[in-house]
Structure 1
């Protein structure tokens, strides 16, 4: 997705927690993707920062719907580490997407090369979170989930 040329507000060594919190807030909004990307471009270091919980921009966006274009841009343009873990729980972007039920993001992250065997600090993979954190009302839903995971592997 092309992004208009913008003036960068800070340097590639930016470590401002306040600035990074602003980036996360903007990326979380329900505004058009090009506007979000133009704002993200204004930070010289949007790929390497994190908030006070150690969450990166890709992890926050993975937990939200309709944010795949931002995730894709971060991976391709900013070369963000798809397997980075947060400081609080050891979650990766894949863990976040599954935990918050964003299966579309999960599939796209796996296709983009996310490591499916990484463990969080509770020694759980993303599949373990699907099993533990998913409420299934009927056995047929369980079969549907099984078909989905057969598709992933």
Structure 2
């Protein structure tokens, strides 16, 4: 039996009803709100207030996932309806207010991340805009990792080879209470760096790119034991190798060394566990950043940039007059000096 007001009909478009519905959605449990929306007005789930907001808009921004899914599945709410003020859909609101669980659900129900608002911002654009002043993120805040896309090479970390069309939680970290602060995905493997300085890898291990001491395939991220005694601060990776920087400024590399991109001497064919990079040019210097390309590796300190690997011009200095195509150990890019310290 409906408890809707006497003046409410199946074609109700009452602005007063709409305002009361939106106001009610700012409080109460999801069970209570379902009961209210069912009984208060015939069109409670589709009415729009003066700002063009629907019940779905409010559920998305409030993080009420169960209510949101009920509105979509049982009440046929339109997830692409835009409000009048900003042209935001429920996806825009969930992204802006950090309700990632609601955003994920909306995507699974057919929502498009490419939908633009009145200013031309897509849903993903909003995640990169300035956050409200009261939202502050710290390196120690809890984090969750979501991956999606092609999973032919087991690089998504979900424990199987199925590709994902929508973001899915990498639950190995959630179950173990590990918070990740950096993720690098490559064609054949992925690298994860935790807030505590631990490094995890998964994917195809040929050539040792995972650093686990073998060439096996790992379906879920596994900690690189060879780095456990260090607090790692940054990771980089390319198709065949991985580079890790520690807080002390030490650099470790592992994987295939076909182009001498590991910076190890004498140059091995590969390294299946992390190996520290030693070079006379780096003596007394503290490395503060690393990057990796398919054929080369880049390191930098506050004073200079160093490169190693195949020199097809990407290393930043002239080709070797003796015909040597590869640079085995880090060499300074002297053309960047003496411009002062790097930022």
TM-score (norm 2): 0.38
Which structure shows the bigger proportion of residues in strand conformation? 2
Query: Is 2:17–2:44's contact at 8 Å kept on the other side of the alignment?
Result: no
Residues in 2 aligned to 1:98 and 1:59: alpha-carbon distance in whole angstroms: 11
Gap regions ≥5 residues in structure 2: 149-165, 169-343
Which structure shows the bigger proportion of residues in helix conformation? 1
**1:13-50: CA deviation from partner (whole Å, max 9, x where unpaired):** 11111111111121220x23222111101210123211
Residues 128-137 or 90-99, more deviating: 128-137
* Moved >6 Å (runs of 4+): none
Q: What's 1:120 paired with?
A: 117
Greater Cα radius of gyration, structure 1 or 2: 2
Match of 1:22 among 16, 20, 23: 20
Residues in 2 aligned to 1:99 and 1:32: alpha-carbon distance in whole angstroms: 22
Identify which of structures 1 and 2 has the higher relative contact order when contacts are C-alpha pairs closer than 8 Å and 6+ apart: 1
Q: What's 1:64 paired with?
A: 62
Residues in 1 aligned to 2:71 and 2:15: alpha-carbon distance in whole angstroms: 19
Residues in 2 aligned to 1:6 and 1:47: alpha-carbon distance in whole angstroms: 14
Over the aligned positions, Cα root-mean-square deviation in angstroms equals 2.3
Q: What's 1:46 paired with?
A: 44
Q: What's 2:3 paired with?
A: 7
TM-score (norm 1): 0.81
| Aligned counterparts, 1:38-117, within 5 A | 38-42=35-39, 43-65=41-63, 67-117=64-114
Query: Is 2:113–2:123's contact at 8 Å kept on the other side of the alignment?
Result: yes
Match of 1:34 among 31, 40, 43: 31
Query: Is 2:37–2:45's contact at 8 Å kept on the other side of the alignment?
Result: no
| Aligned counterparts, 1:132-151, within 5 A | 132-134=129-131, 148=146, 150=148
SS of aligned partner of 1:121: coil
Q: How many residues align?
A: 143
Gap regions ≥5 residues in structure 1: none
Residues in 2 aligned to 1:8 and 1:55: alpha-carbon distance in whole angstroms: 21
**1:44-95: CA deviation from partner (whole Å, max 9, x where unpaired):** 0123211111111101110013x11211111112101011111111100000
Query: Is 1:20–1:51's contact at 8 Å kept on the other side of the alignment?
Result: yes
Query: Is 1:17–1:50's contact at 8 Å kept on the other side of the alignment?
Result: yes
